């Protein structure tokens, strides 16, 4: 790293700069990186571009110049999540067990559930987050495809919040003895790293992500906005249940910024009742309903941040309220715009996902999937302890 800018990055990275530098400088390491959906709609703000400027190609290009050997994508993991979580939801709705099912991709929400409602942990989807799924697949499926040893892979994730650093360090987040994600840096830390390397971000050409773990659908990219996981799940769930194409992919009734939004979706004969929660203060009423057996919903998406990951704490810092409001709106609009321009907009139609199941996983919720992509949750309540698993 350039000595002029290094202190800048080190100040932001609280000691992670040297670990990352060591990995990038070691020719024996195979360094891979993945970026959350929202990084591509906020990173450019750190380089003076307008709020919400969409730069997936420049981001991939910058990461390659920083020294990563493969540019993978958390969006690919989001598509895998939909395959696993969607199948899990349909199976629970059919059996009537452990309903409602909560999403499990936001680590701040998961930790809150483990602390405040350990008796309800079996209601969480057993899916790991998209970040951990990509980490697990990179050290197994990806390692095999690249002909490298999992032990030589250094797996980095660029995320919108520091809570993802905690998630990657959870003891369950290992695969065959290897950490799935070795290091998490935030959007701001990536910007500092790019500056430290002396890379002129604004002049970079657009470059593609690497195959297969870097290919994603529009459904994968909308995970970054509140309601995105729900919308992506309905796009696939509708077709799995009805065997018909969803007439309109823009599910406007799911989108919005209110702390709680609810809807009923007709999937053939099934009336699926869903709720979206953005901000932990809104989840308590629902947890109380579930505890009393009075919750009317089948599926509930919970994100800890008020607008989902577009407003995560590791995103570019904005001091003024009016700037935050404008930035969140622009980042969300950019995410939905990116989705609408992609050729593949449903997770189950992503050719890289189809190939993954054909060549490696077999089927959603199958034996290999369970080993790599599902987990258990820990009670963190002082009143109880132990592991709780989803059915």
- Residues 6 or more apart whose Cβ sits within 8 Å of residue 92: 98, 99, 101, 298, 391
Contacting range for ligand SF4; rule: CB under 6 A; set: 15-23, 258-266, 304-312, 383-391:
304-312
Residues touching ligand SF4, count (CB under 6 A): 11
Whether residue 105 lies in the annotated active site: yes
Interaction with ligand SF4 in 2-41: which residues (CB under 6 A)? none
160 lines the binding site for ligand SF4 (CB under 6 A) = yes
Active-site entry in 45, 114, 167, 231: 167
163 lines the binding site for ligand SF4 (CB under 6 A) = yes
Q: Whose Cβ is closer to ligand SF4: residue 295's or residue 305's? A: 305
Tell me how many helices (H) and strands (E) the chain has: 15, 13
Rounded to an integer, what distance in angstroms lies between the CA atom of residue 46 and that of residue 317?
9
Q: How far is the CB of 106 from ligand SF4 (least distance, A)?
A: 3
106 lines the binding site for ligand SF4 (CB under 6 A) = yes
Rounded to an integer, what distance in angstroms lies between the CA atom of residue 115 and that of residue 121?
10
305 lines the binding site for ligand SF4 (CB under 6 A) = yes
Active-site entry in 45, 46, 84, 85: 85
232 lines the binding site for ligand SF4 (CB under 6 A) = no
The full length of the chain comes to: 391
108 lines the binding site for ligand SF4 (CB under 6 A) = yes
Whether residue 2 lies in the annotated active site: no
Q: List b or e across 115-142, with b for residues whose CB sees 16 or more CB atoms inside 10 angstroms.
A: eebbebbebbbbbbbbbbbbbbbbbbbb
* Dihedral angle, C-alpha 160, 258, 236, 360, nearest 10 °: 20
Active-site entry in 88, 114, 180, 231: 88
Q: What one-character DSSP code corresponds to residue 283? A: T
The side-by-side arrangement of strands in the sheet containing 70-71 is 70-71, 30-35, 153-159, 183-186
Contacting range for ligand SF4; rule: CB under 6 A; set: 157-165, 257-265, 349-357, 366-374:
157-165
Q: How far is the CB of 306 from ligand SF4 (least distance, A)?
A: 9
Q: Is-contact 264 375, C-beta < 8 A?
A: no
Q: Which residue lies nearest ligand SF4, judged by its C-beta?
A: 312
Whether residue 61 lies in the annotated active site: no
Active site residues per annotation: 85, 88, 105, 125, 164, 167, 172, 309
- Binding residues for ligand SF4, rule: CB under 6 A, are 106, 108, 160-161, 163, 303-305, 308-309, 312
């Amino acid at each position: 790293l350039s000595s002029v800018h290094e202190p800048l990055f080190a100040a932001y990275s609280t000691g992670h700069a040297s670990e990352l530098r060591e990995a990038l400088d070691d020719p024996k390491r195979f360094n891979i990186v993945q970026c959350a959906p929202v990084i591509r709609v906020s990173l450019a703000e750190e380089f003076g571009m307008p709020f919400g400027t969409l730069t997936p190609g420049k981001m991939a290009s910058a990461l390659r110049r920083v020294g990563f050997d493969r540019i993978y994508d958390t969006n690919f993991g989001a598509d895998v999540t939909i395959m696993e979580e969607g199948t899990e939801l349909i199976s629970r709705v059919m059996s009537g067990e452990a309903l409602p099912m909560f999403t499990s991709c936001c680590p701040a929400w998961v930790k809150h559930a483990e602390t405040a409602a350990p008796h309800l942990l079996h209601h969480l989807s057993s899916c790991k987050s998209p970040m951990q799924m990509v980490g697990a697949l990179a050290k197994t499926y990806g390692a095999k495809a690249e002909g490298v040893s999992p032990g030589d892979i250094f797996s980095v994730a660029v995320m919108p919040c520091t809570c993802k650093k905690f998630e990657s360090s959870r003891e369950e987040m290992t695969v065959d003895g290897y950490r799935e994600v070795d290091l998490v840096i935030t959007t701001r830390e990536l910007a500092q790293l790019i500056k430290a390397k002396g890379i002129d971000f604004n002049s970079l050409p657009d470059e593609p992500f690497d195959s297969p773990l870097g290919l994603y659908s529009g459904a994968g990219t909308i995970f970054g906005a509140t309601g995105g996981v729900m919308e992506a799940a309905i796009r696939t769930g509708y077709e799995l249940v009805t065997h018909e194409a969803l007439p309109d992919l823009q599910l406007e009734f799911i989108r919005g910024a209110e702390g709680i939004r609810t809807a009923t979706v007709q999937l053939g004969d099934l009336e699926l009742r869903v709720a979206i929660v953005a901000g932990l203060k809104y989840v308590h009423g629902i947890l109380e309903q579930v505890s009393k057996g009075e919750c009317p919903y089948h599926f509930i998406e919970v994100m800890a941040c008020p607008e989902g990951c577009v407003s995560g704490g590791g995103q570019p810092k904005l001091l003024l309220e009016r700037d935050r409001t404008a930035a969140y709106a622009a980042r969300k609009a950019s995410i939905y715009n990116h989705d609408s321009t992609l050729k593949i907009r449903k997770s189950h139609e992503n050719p890289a996902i189809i190939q993954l199941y054909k060549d490696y996983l077999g089927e959603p919720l199958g034996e290999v999937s369970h080993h790599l992509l599902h987990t258990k949750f820990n009670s963190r309540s002082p009143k109880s302890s132990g592991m709780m698993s989803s059915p």
